[in-house]
Amino acid sequence: MVTTKKTILITGAAGFIAGHLSHVLSGYGNYQLILSDDFSAADKTPNWSDLNEAILIPRDVLIDRLEAEELLPDWVIHLGARTDTTEFDYAVHEKLNLHYSQGIWEYCCRHQIPLIYASSAATYGDGRSGYSDAEDQLSNLHPLNPYGLSKHQFDCWAMEQTNHPPHWFGLKFFNVYGFREAHKGRMASMVYHGYNQIRSQGFVRLFKSHRPEYVDGGQQRDFIYVKDLVRVIQWLMEATPNSGIYNLGTGVARSFNDLIGSVFQAMGLPVRIEYIDMPSDLRESYQYYTQATMEKLRKAGYPFPFYTLEEGVFDYVQQYLMR
């Protein structure tokens, strides 16, 4: 019996999360992948260059190529975005994170293709309105930077539409770490930076706290391992629960001290941390605490546990960074 491969379009395929997802799906052998991005960046080449059977389409001609060649995917997973939270030119984020995403949505509507897209925990701003992924709470959110604003505006726009893909899921990614993030430079996770600082100088520098209720290094994030993200995306494609916006964290906030302690532990070394002043350009927009509320995804039926911080860091360090 011949099994027809499902065709999956993945945008942002030269990047961190999409590159990881592409390799996982490619390994199953039952997907035809269409990968789209700006493939010109040499430091991103390892994220996609060995996916020999994939169809590559440059980002700026994606929709035209799909329409002209009648390449109708079974799913669109839209992970392409400008993710630099230190880029304060809103026009950059508006073009790639809002207008481009609107074009992807409209394409999926025209052809009735299910869509998964990446939103962000940056939409929650300083967290004063909480971290609920209930759609009726969107109007209460106040992002702190242009990146978060662009993601928030697309979430709001999607909820206002009367024309939808047959299934659609907006995933608010919290602090993701894992293999294939090296190209991100300053924006790579503190697991990656911490490991390299330990290798080069034997200790890790963390930001001091500029708020009295947090100790130095005590700022907290909901850290989620990239393998968990991929597993959720796969489950959504298979289970197709109710469409909407879903948080994607672990539901547990941990400190940067905990994170770096886990890196030292994974390397078999004693903990050595120095605390430095936070750069002035980050202080006004810095989140001191994030923690996803995960009840919505659980109530939708997601059955799998998430990696603990210690488990995820150990796997990343031992299986990828140290190799």
The three-point CA angle 154-114-239 to 5° equals 110
Q: Where are the alpha helices (DSSP H) in 29-99?
A: 62-69, 90-93
Cα distance between residue 305 and residue 238, in whole Å: 17
To the query of whether residue 184 is one of the catalytic residues in this protein, the response is yes
The one catalytic residue among 147, 286, 302, 316 = 147
Cα distance between residue 30 and residue 77, in whole Å: 16
Q: Which residue has the tokens 């925990």?
A: 121
Instruction: Tokens for 184, please give them.
Output: 């991100």
The one catalytic residue among 5, 6, 184, 208 = 184
Cα distance between residue 116 and residue 75, in whole Å: 8
Full DSSP string of 105-123: HHHHHHHT--EEEEEEGGG
Cα distance between residue 304 and residue 292, in whole Å: 16
Active-site positions?
Answer: 147, 184
